[in-house]
């Protein structure tokens, strides 16, 4: 380089995982002027067609990303719902839907989000991250195809079983909280009567029954206690859930009957990622890898889409990546902590024995809520500084002399 000339280099970011968090991080970092490489270990990363929920914040951030067409074409307004609980006498509460809360098939929504990424984002599918080496000025990443490359930052958006988390912060055994509950997912080929979602707590199970509004299908998801030492027997659990759905009322009989015939079923385990810190050196976790709340919360998208925006904007304000990561975590952690606490209490309340234990769980839940009020207030005052809803602004580049 001739003396006195100034070379402007774009900062390089590796985003690991192209789920909701990884796609959003790639979009926002590119928007902030970063050179972005996005990898996913799967050649076809969106196999499951179960429902994913976007809350109002996540929907707003997707809109800011120019995703109005995606919202219009592949998501639908969360339906009205009925909440049913009790066994002897079923009590029911009817709630209106909210048009800013959207539902979508995960596979369809994420494929569209991936296709929406600018062509300047380098996308490599079927390439897994395998190792990271921290160096003084960068971090070296090694991939499953034998290649290696250096980056200014690495964003671990690689989900619940995160490799980035395992390589840098904690093993799965030390970061994933499990409570012995299993999710049973069933897609049934029948429309839900009157299109109203049903949330029910009955027979020691919590169930969420939602219509797929793009087809005449119904999604049944139930949280069922399975002792840790037992290997889950999928057909038996599916049968148990269908029996319970049938007993929710005459309107649920057709759903139960079709659910029994379904071959589109899967089991996953209730899991929450609980970590004291989400970053180290030049590496930061985003989305489920940092704070999986559990799909039953319906909040997985929340901290992924707004979280990606906050992360990219925190990095805009400084070249000190550690400071930027700390700001990002301070902004997002209160929400994740509150959502985890409420979700864990809700499933405990809905799947435990009746009587005093349930009352104690409910009292504990109220305690959790009260304890999170100071954190929520802090988050709201932080949001005034970096609002989720603010219009995107333009990039900063680093200057190398
Ligand atoms: C297959 C699947 C199905 C799901 N289905 C539902 C559902 O139906 N409903 C629901 O509410 N939630 C579901 N979830 C969870 C939901 O997607 C998340 O809670 C939320 O969208 C936040 O996503 P995320 O981007 O943080 O993580 P994820 O959506 O889990 O994405 C992580 C990505 O990282 C990739 N990855 C993992 N390890 C590596 C590595 N070493 N190198 C490169 N890439 C890697 C994975 O292939 C994956 O594409 C599902 C997750 C997965 C992985």
Secondary structure in 3-state letters for the chain: CCCCCCEEECCEEEEECCCHHHHHHHHHHHHCCCEEEEEECCCCCCCCCCEEEECHHHHHHHHHCCCHHHHHHHCEEECCEEEEECCCCCEEEEECCEEEEEEEEHHHHHHHHHHCCCCCCEEEECCCEEEEEECCCCEEEEECCCCEEEECEEEECCCCCCHHHHHHCCCHHHHEEEEEEEEEEEEECCCCHHHCEEEEEECCEEEEEEEECCCCEEEEEEEEECCCCCCCCHHHHHHHHHHHHHCCCHHHHHHHHHHHHCCCEEEEEEEEECCCCCEECCEEECCHHHHCCCHHHCCCCCCCHHHHHHHHHHHHCCCCHHHHHHHHHHHHHHHHHHHHHHHHHHHHHHHCCCCHHHHHHHHHHHHHHHHHHHHHHHHHHHHHHCCCCCCCCCCCCEEEC
Give the per-residue pLDDT at 228. 65
Nearest CA to ligand 1 atom 51: 159
Lowest mean pLDDT among 66-70, 166-170, 204-208, 212-216: 212-216
Give the per-residue pLDDT at 98. 66
CB of 306 sitting under 6 A from ligand 1? no
CB of 14 sitting under 6 A from ligand 1? no
CB of 50 sitting under 6 A from ligand 1? yes
Most confident of 60-69, 180-189, 339-348, 353-362: 60-69
CA–centroid distance, residue 59 to ligand 1 (Å): 18
Give the per-residue pLDDT at 93. 63
Mean pLDDT for 354-374 is 49
CA–centroid distance, residue 301 to ligand 1 (Å): 10
CA–centroid distance, residue 159 to ligand 1 (Å): 5
Q: Where does the pLDDT of residue 17 fall: very low under 50, low under 70, confident under 90, or very high at 90 and above?
A: very high
CB of 158 sitting under 6 A from ligand 1? yes
Check pLDDT > 80 for residue 396: no
Nearest CA to ligand 1 atom 9: 52
Q: Kindly give the number of the ligand 1 atom that is closest to the alpha carbon of 22.
A: 25
CB of 273 sitting under 6 A from ligand 1? no
CA–centroid distance, residue 7 to ligand 1 (Å): 38
Check pLDDT > 70 for residue 31: yes
Give the per-residue pLDDT at 183. 93
CB of 133 sitting under 6 A from ligand 1? no
Mean pLDDT of the chain: 85
CA–centroid distance, residue 19 to ligand 1 (Å): 5
Lowest mean pLDDT among 29-33, 68-72, 267-271, 350-354: 350-354
Q: Where does the pLDDT of residue 66 fall: very low under 50, low under 70, confident under 90, or very high at 90 and above?
A: very high
Q: 202 or 368: which carries more pLDDT confidence? A: 202
CA–centroid distance, residue 114 to ligand 1 (Å): 13
């Amino acid at each position: 380089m001739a003396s006195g000339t100034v070379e402007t280099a774009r900062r390089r970011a590796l985003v690991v995982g192209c789920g909701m968090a990884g796609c959003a991080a790639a979009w926002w970092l590119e928007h902030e002027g970063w050179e972005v490489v996005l990898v996913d270990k799967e050649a076809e990363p969106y196999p499951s067609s179960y429902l994913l929920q976007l809350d109002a914040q996540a929907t707003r951030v997707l809109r800011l990303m120019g995703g109005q067409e995606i919202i219009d074409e592949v998501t639908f307004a969360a339906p009205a719902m009925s909440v049913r609980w009790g066994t002897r006498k079923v009590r029911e509460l009817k709630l209106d839907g909210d048009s800013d809360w959207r539902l979508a098939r995960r596979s369809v929504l994420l494929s569209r989000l991936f296709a929406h990424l600018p062509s300047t984002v380098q996308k490599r599918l079927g390439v897994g991250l395998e190792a990271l080496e921290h160096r003084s000025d960068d971090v070296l990443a090694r991939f499953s195809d034998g290649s290696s490359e250096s980056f200014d930052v690495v964003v671990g958006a690689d989900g619940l079983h995160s490799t980035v988390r395992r390589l840098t912060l904690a093993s799965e055994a030390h970061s994933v909280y499990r409570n012995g509950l299993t999710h049973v997912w069933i897609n049934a080929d029948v429309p839900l009567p009157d299109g109203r979602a049903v949330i029910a707590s009955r027979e020691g199970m919590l169930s969420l029954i939602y219509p797929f509004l793009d087809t005449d299908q119904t999604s049944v998801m139930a949280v069922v206690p399975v002792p840790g030492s037992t290997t889950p027997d999928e057909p038996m659990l599916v049968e148990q859930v269908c029996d319970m759905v049938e007993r929710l009322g005459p309107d649920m009989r057709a759903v139960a009957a079709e659910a029994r015939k379904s071959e589109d079923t899967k089991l996953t385990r209730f899991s929450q990622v609980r970590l004291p810190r989400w970053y180290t050196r030049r590496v930061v976790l985003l989305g489920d890898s940092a704070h999986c709340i559990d799909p039953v919360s319906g909040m997985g998208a929340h901290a992924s889409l707004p979280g990606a925006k906050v992360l990219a904007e925190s990095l805009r304000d400084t070249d000190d990546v550690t400071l930027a990561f700390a700001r990002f975590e301070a902004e997002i952690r209160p929400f994740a902590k509150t959502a985890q606490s409420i979700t864990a209490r809700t499933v405990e309340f809905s799947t435990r024995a009746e009587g005093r234990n349930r009352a104690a769980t409910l009292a504990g839940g109220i305690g959790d809520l009260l304890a999170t009020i100071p954190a929520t207030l802090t988050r709201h005052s932080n949001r005034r500084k970096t609002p989720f809803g603010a219009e995107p602004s333009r990039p900063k580049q680093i200057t190398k002399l």
